[in-house]
Amino acid sequence: MREITGLHSDDFLLIFRQIDFFRPFLDQERRALAGRHTHLVAYDVGEYLIQEGSLDERSLFLLLSGGASVVKQGASIPLAAMAPGDFFGEVSFLTARPRTSNVIVHPPAALTDETPTVPNLFQLGLTATLHQATATVLRFDPELMSDLDVPLRIKIKDHVIQHLTQRVERMHRQVVEVTGHDPMLSVDPELERQLLDAQAPLAERERTKDCLIEQLAAFLDELNQSLVAC
């Protein structure tokens, strides 16, 4: 693992403007995030981005180049493959829950100046670094969230909820196909009502988002365990 130093907030802003994760955000919101508790880090094949069970490391990762595999302890095959543009680690980043799986850098295709990355990191003059690395990621420290105002935190959490919901749907289909079991996500009716209350104070809306993220994370862990048991 090697942190790439010498980047400024404008460099991070250039990266953010090219990534789908930040597409819903206004440029002033991207500026609020650029360079704050944010690192550009290069990893080699076989290195762990995330280690299952860890409580000490709670960063959010966004893969810019290369690839990585999601591997559950005891599982015979990877649960998922990460490609440039994917983000992961969001549950521990937002909830302080322990990591539920490993994410390990896997061998990529050969990288050339014409190889697409997300974003085009060659624009930042990082050609030599990229050729030496198997994968490059943005790593966001969990302290970032406490530095942001509530509306921006809510926007980030809404984006994460959308992503977690998609993951739940994909993994649920996989569990049904592999096990024949059809587990159901049960959301408290009061929580559903609160989620629909657009007039609630911002602090209450944020707490509601946190509760939903916790429920989605717990259900994802249940689905993961079902696959590992096969």
CB-count burial class (<10 Å; 0-12, 13-18, 19+) for 109: exposed
76 and 120 fall within a common domain: yes
Nearest CA to 41 out of 143, 159, 141 is that of: 141
Q: What is the chain's Cα-based Rg?
A: 18
Q: Looking at residue 132, what is its pLDDT?
A: 57
Q: Does residue 200 sit in helix, strand or coil?
A: coil
Instruction: Say what the pLDDT of residue 125 is.
Output: 55
Amino acid 198: pLDDT = 86
Same-domain pairing of 29 and 128: yes
3-state secondary structure of 8: coil
Are 158 and 223 contained in the same domain?
Answer: yes
Segments forming the whole domain that contains residue 100: 2-147
Beta bridge partners of 3: 41
| Predicted pLDDT at 7 | 83
Question: Closest Cα partner for 96 from 210, 230, 9?
Answer: 210
H helices of 21-60, in order, are: 27-33
Same domain for 31 and 46, yes or no, is yes
Give the per-residue pLDDT at 83. Answer: 86
Residue 62's CATH number: 2.60.120.10
Burial of 197 (0-12, 13-18, 19+ CB in 10 A): exposed
Residues 107 and 199 occupy one common structural domain: no
Distance (Å, whole) CA 218 – CA 183: 12
Give the pLDDT confidence score for residue 155 in this predicted structure.
95
Q: What residue spans of 43-185 are helical by DSSP H?
A: 90-95, 127-132, 150-179
Closest CA to 30 of 197, 131, 159: 159
CA–CA gap between residue 200 and residue 184 (Å, rounded): 28
| Domain total in the chain | 2
20 lies in the same domain as 107: yes
Claim to verify: residue 168 and residue 142 sit in the same structural domain: no
Q: What is the mean pLDDT of each run of 10 residues along the chain (230 residues)?
A: 85 87 92 89 92 91 90 77 89 91 79 52 54 80 94 95 92 90 88 90 95 93 80
Do 154 and 207 lie in a common domain? Answer: yes
181 token code pair: 């079991």
Residues 142 and 154 in one domain: no
Helix 202-228 to helix 150-179 angle (10° resolution) is: 20
